[in-house]
Chains A and B, each alone.
Chain A
Amino acid sequence: MRPCGPHARRSDPTCRAINAVLIQSRANPEVIYENLPDARGHFGPYGGRFVAETLMEPLQKLEEAYNALKNDPAFRAELDRDLALYVGRPSPLYPAERLTKKWGGAQIFLKREDLNHTGAHKINNTVGQALLAKHLGKTRIIAETGAGQHGVASATIAARLGLKCVVYMGADDVQRQSPNVYRMKLLGAEVIPVQSGTRTLKDALNEALRDWVTNVDDTFYVIGTVAGPHPYPMLVRDFNAVVGREVINQSQDMLGRQPDALVACVGGGSNAIGLFYPFITNDSVKMYGVEAGGDGIETGRHAAPLSAGHPGVLHGNRTYIMADANGQISATHSISAGLDYPGVGPEHSWLKDIGRVSYVSVTDDEALAAFHELTRVEGIIPALEPAHALAYAKKLAPQMARDQIIVVNLSGRGDKDIFTIAKREGISLT
């Protein structure tokens, strides 16, 4: 039987039989989206497991444990219970009526991940991985964090489960996200500022991998986004996919139909894939992943690997990255620490190549304007990350009809960002 690869035709009966999920992309009718990743953790040419030998066996064990547990009814029940009673799910799908009126065009709905415990979508994944850690008998968890949301979510769940928690955070991010640093410390986590490289999220990830390789016997590495070596991009996606599943149900209940477009910001890509994944086979739903355009793509000062980078290998997977001609990883620039990352989850690279998702970018200034607009018009202070998604929705809505529906993933709340914004706007808070 020939392998049912990315270039197999939809009409090929063997492919139909083998793959549970097959879709045909509009942009590229020759290409079919399979039920990915494959057994080696590949999404088409992306993903995989590019780490030093020492981590291979632990990754293999993690994959086996996850595959065994993910369909285990007891594990699922425990996860669902935590999501409902601890995280506070389901999160509302909120009709932003004043914003819709202001922007004109399609109706804007916000998926309120900002209302989750700890204030962002990150906790969905953290709760899941912490349960895995518990089942694997690990006593210590480590995490990397950019904006601090994933660090806070990890510290939170560690406190609840009585696990030791160490969070790596780029020294520059420690500066610009100081409220979250303090929250992590209150929760009992040790926050280690990372001084190497560009002192941001990518360096925190390097340092967390170094810790893991050293303490692999008792330590579980809770990666905060859909990057890293296989199986992380898969399991972080699966834990976040509750977002998209809820949107399917809520849309059906509230509107009797599914949305026309989904918009989410893309740092590593976990909130975006969480919203998108359950919709991937529904070809009538358009999807937009919004990257951080920083000062503007044309300035080179941005964090938009899908918009302006090229494929390479970083942090254990093959994906679009930002690097120079010699293959050295570039410094990135974004007002949002959570989007300030030169790579992106490998599944997004694949979804870009097959044309299933459109990846776009907005600048710091556009995101800031959207931040203020949502705050003033709807009384919701968004994090700077989803402010990027809002800024793109603002451009998209007027191009669509009034009876159409856009769902924006409001991935987190903006309390952590008010100091950054005040500083940028020359306002002193002390």
Chain B
Amino acid sequence: MTRINDVFGALQAGGGKALIPYITAGDPHPQQTVGLMHALVAGGADIIELGVPFSDPMADGPTIQLACERALMHNTSLWNCVEMVAEFRRTNTTTPVVLMGYLNPIEARGLDAFAAYAKQAGVDGVLIVDVAIEEAPEIAPRLRAQGLDCIFLVAPTSSGTRIESIAREASGYLYYVSLKGVTGAATLDVDSVAAKLDEIRAHTKIPVAVGFGIRDAASAAAVSRIADGVVVGSALVSQIEKHQNEAQKLPEILTRMLAEMRAAIDSTHA
């Protein structure tokens, strides 16, 4: 069993839903990332998605673009991200960490070298935003060979046939993109998400987390009624942006924000 499967297994047994926060590694400063990861766990994170900064994040909205720029000002590299996970693992051996990013920084270091290094550091899964199933045959097996889960996106535009092929390549969980748009957009429609989740579940038993457009406790709770997990990204990252110059306050701010979402989610399933 992988750590990700353990988390979803335990949650499903208890009727709970996964809370999955996203932050960009190196934002606002590489030295703070591990502390922020622990703060997310303290706020109730079940899984952490750690963004690998990229100069050209074409699927991201302004909030995460700026987070990437802040991280790259300090030259946060892919290897730095992996090392942050290794450091996190010194005191946390249970919370799964998924690295989320774009293909080019990974290939620049070599896919196999990355997979081996990431596994050794305690990374559990990888989500490469610009690798869909079309290009996955050359990439996903090499990540799986190291025991990493390959997380794939499913979108409102994905047809039934595509969903089926995606589910065949995926492990850990599926990440359903709740809307047509980039990260940080604000128009999530719970009913249409629910309808698409039914369609996805007709094709696969893999847990489905929903992200894009979840910005507060209320929207997190609403989505948790229909999904197996809730991904929160830009809402957290915009707090980091706002408080980037008072970094000592950030862990507490993130913990509190996440704890509110945690409580709202848990109360809907109590």
Residues of chain A whose beta carbon lies under 8 Å from any beta carbon of chain B = 40, 48-58, 196-197, 202-203, 205-206, 209-210, 213-217, 312-316, 321, 323, 325-329
B135, B162, B166: the one within 8 Å of A50 (CB): B135
Tell me whether B55 and A48 are in contact (CB under 8 A): no
Kindly specify which of B15-23, B38-46, B153-161, B201-209 makes contact with the partner chain: B153-161
Tell me if A's interface is mostly helix, strand, loop or mixed: mixed
CA gap between A406 and B154 in the complex, in Å: 51
Minimum Cβ distance to chain B for residue A231 (Å): 12
Tell me whether B155 and A326 are in contact (CB under 8 A): no
B65 within 8 A of A: yes
Tell me whether A327 and B58 are in contact (CB under 8 A): no
Minimum Cβ distance to chain B for residue A299 (Å): 21
Tell me whether A313 and B130 are in contact (CB under 8 A): yes
Residues of chain B whose beta carbon lies under 8 Å from any beta carbon of chain A = 54-62, 65, 69, 72, 75, 77-78, 102-109, 129-132, 134-135, 152-159, 162, 166, 177, 180-182, 185
3 shortest A-B CB distances, which residue pairs? A327-B108, A327-B105, A54-B155
Q: Which residues of A contact B154 (CB under 8 A)?
A: 53
Minimum Cβ distance to chain A for residue B202 (Å): 18
Tell me whether B130 and A213 are in contact (CB under 8 A): no
**Contact A50 to B103, CB < 8 A, known contacts A56-B162, A327-B109, A328-B72:** yes
Tell me if B's interface is mostly helix, strand, loop or mixed: loop
**Contact A57 to B157, CB < 8 A, known contacts A196-B65, A210-B182, A326-B77:** yes
Chain B residue at minimal CB-CB distance from A207: B58
Q: Which residues of B contact A217 (CB under 8 A)?
A: 180
A40, A213, A326: the one within 8 Å of B181 (CB): A213
Q: Which residues of B contact A210 (CB under 8 A)?
A: 58-61, 182
Tell me whether B61 and A326 are in contact (CB under 8 A): no
Q: Which residues of A contact B152 (CB under 8 A)?
A: 53
Chain B residue at minimal CB-CB distance from A41: B134
Given contacts A217-B180, A313-B104, 5 further A-B contacts (CB under 8 A): A52-B129, A53-B157, A214-B185, A316-B58, A323-B104
Minimum Cβ distance to chain B for residue A290 (Å): 25
Q: Which residues of A contact B59 (CB under 8 A)?
A: 51-52, 54, 209-210, 213
**Contact A50 to B181, CB < 8 A, known contacts A312-B104, A329-B56:** no
Tell me whether A326 and B78 are in contact (CB under 8 A): yes
Minimum Cβ distance to chain B for residue A58 (Å): 6
Chain A residue at minimal CB-CB distance from B152: A53
Tell me whether A216 and B180 are in contact (CB under 8 A): yes
28 chain-A/chain-B pairs, Cβ below 8 angstroms? A49-B132, A50-B103, A50-B130, A51-B59, A52-B129, A53-B166, A54-B155, A54-B156, A56-B157, A57-B158, A197-B56, A203-B56, A206-B58, A209-B59, A210-B58, A210-B182, A213-B180, A213-B182, A214-B181, A214-B182, A214-B185, A216-B180, A313-B103, A316-B58, A316-B130, A326-B77, A327-B105, A327-B109
